[in-house]
Structure 1
Amino acid sequence: MKIVVVGAAGMVGSRVVGEAARRGHDLLAVFRRTRPAELPPGVTAVEGDADEPGRLAEVFRGADAVVAATRPAPGDEHTFPATTTALLDAAAAARTRVLVVGGAAPLEIPGDPGRTVLDSPVYVPRQYRDIAAASAAQLETCRAHPAADWVYLSPPAVLEPGERTGAYRRGTTTLLTEADGTSRISAEDLAVAVLDELEQPSGERHFTVARRDPAGG
């Protein structure tokens, strides 16, 4: 499978590149200004900007799938919907499906239907509210796009570098929590979930994952 990863230098994108290379896929790693210091053998690095849909459409052409793992810099959260639209436009022009790695904010809180993670200061402390709101707007941008073939992955409340176990739990539009109420996954295992979805599409538009609950399987 030929896969293009946008945001390849970031925490999630770099791990998606590593996981895809591990599985033997043909990869293009798209970076903006900061070229990844190291790339697995066989991975081609391409300079590109998510805000240049014409250029990206050419990069995407012929790919089986695109992974959009971009994230705005602090203070630029308001640009996220426009950047997402540009990525979706490029994927639609190239007739390539795109998996958008977004945020947990749009997920419903377990046991509280209709209330989302964005509404909870427990899951979204004040300092993270801007990026959380931007990720909720990002999902709405995907839903409003008229042509792109997209799927949106919401990580759990805590996403950070860690161990690749190769195991995770999968859900749909409700936050997955552990017995103690926490919600987390390593970036490495999120990448596993991304590649699993690319290799065997579920047909769902919005899904989430979380690590295996040590207390509950």
Structure 2
Amino acid sequence: MKVLILGATGDVGREAVREALLRGHQVTACARKIGDEGGQPNLKQVQLDVLAEPQKLEELFRAHDAVISTLRPPSGQESVLVTLTGQVLSASKASGTPVYITGGAATLRLGDGSDHTVVSAPDFLPQSVRPIAEACVAQDALLVSEKSAHWTCLRPSAMLLPEVRTGRYALGRDELVRQEDGQSRISFADFAVAMLDLVGLRPAPHQRLTAGW
């Protein structure tokens, strides 16, 4: 399968590239600044500014069987996430290529008997991550309103960690996946495993899922 990965130099993007290569896919890794992983079999690197080059983005979509978007804006520009997601959805709509979008945990319910979500619960989120959490809420609303593009959204646990790949996870929908100790966690590597599993399964579009240990 030919897989295009956007945001390929970020924490999730790097693991998605690694996991896709492990599975034998032909991978095109896109980022504003490409990394130093060139020369690997089945890996092509492309420098791309999603906002500045929409035509190139659409051409890349058309050349691939599936797209994984792990795009995240830099600190201080969190609101750009919605614009980035809109560009990705437009390219999917124009090309017909399915896109698997990395969302955020912000809109997931806590599962503690309250009506609170990650972003609405008092004192649940540190103030330092609230800007990206609120951007993820807006991203989620954009996805819900988009009925034409072929998208699937995978949202992480409350904590995404630089820990090992276990190959194990559980899927959920609108509530945090938790471990027996109540923690909601997953590694970048296992989140990528879940994302690549979805690409292989090709679920019906317009689903917002979550993955966690």
- Report the TM-score range of the alignment, normalised by the length of the smaller protein: over 0.9
Runs of 4+ in 1 over 6 A off after TM superposition: none
Give the equivalent residue in structure 1 for 2:24. 24
Task: Tell me the CA shift for residue 78 of structure 1.
Answer: 1.5
Query: How many pairs align?
Result: 210
State the match for 2:36 in structure 1. Answer: 37
Closer, same or farther: CA 187–121 of 1 in aligned 2, 3 Å: farther
Write the distance in 2 (CA, Å) between the matches of 1:162 and 1:41: 26
RMSD: 1.5
Q: Partners of 1:27 and 1:123 in 2: how far apart?
A: 37
Name the structure 2 match of 1:53: 54
Counterpart amino acid of residue 46 in structure 1: V
Aligned-pair CA distance for 1:113: 5.5
Aligned partner of 2:201: which letter?
Q
Structure 2: tracts of 5 or more residues without a match: none
Helix, strand or coil at the partner of 1:180: coil
Match of 2:210 in 1: 208
Are 2:110 and 2:118, in contact at CA under 8 Å, matched by a contact in 1? yes
Q: Is the 8 A contact 1:5 1:67 kept in 2?
A: yes
Q: Distance in 1 between matches of 2:131 and 2:113?
A: 22
Q: Which position in structure 2 is the counterpart of 1:149?
A: 150
- 1:81-96 equivalences under 5 Å are 81-96=82-97
Distance 2:188 2:139 in 1: 20
Q: Verify the 8 A CA contact 1:57 1:94 in the aligned structure 2.
A: yes
Amino acid corresponding to residue 166 of structure 1 in structure 2: G
What's the offset of the Cα at 1:50?
Answer: 1.9
- 1:97 and 2:98 matched: yes
Matches within 5 A, 1:156-195: 156-195=157-196
SS at match of 1:77: coil
Q: Which moved more, 1:188-197 or 1:40-49?
A: 40-49
Structure 1 position 93, deviation (Å) = 1.1
Contact kept? 1:85, 1:145, Cα under 8 Å: no
Q: Following TM superposition, by how much is the alpha carbon of 1:143 offset from its aligned partner in structure 2, in angstroms?
A: 1.6
Q: Distance in 2 between matches of 1:165 and 1:23?
A: 15
Which deviates the most, 55-64 or 36-45? Answer: 36-45
Percent identity between the aligned chains? 38
Please give the alpha-carbon distance, in whole angstroms, between the structure 2 residues aligned to 1:112 and 1:50: 40
Query: Deviations for 1:175-198, whole angstroms, at most 9, x for unmatched residues?
Result: 111233211001010110011000
Q: CA deviation at 1:42?
A: 1.8
Residue matched to 1:7: 7
**Contact residue 25 and residue 42 of structure 2 kept, 8 A:** no
Counterpart contact for 2:20–2:27, Cα < 8 Å: yes
Specify the alignment match of 2:132 in structure 1: 131
- 1:112 Cα shift? 3.5
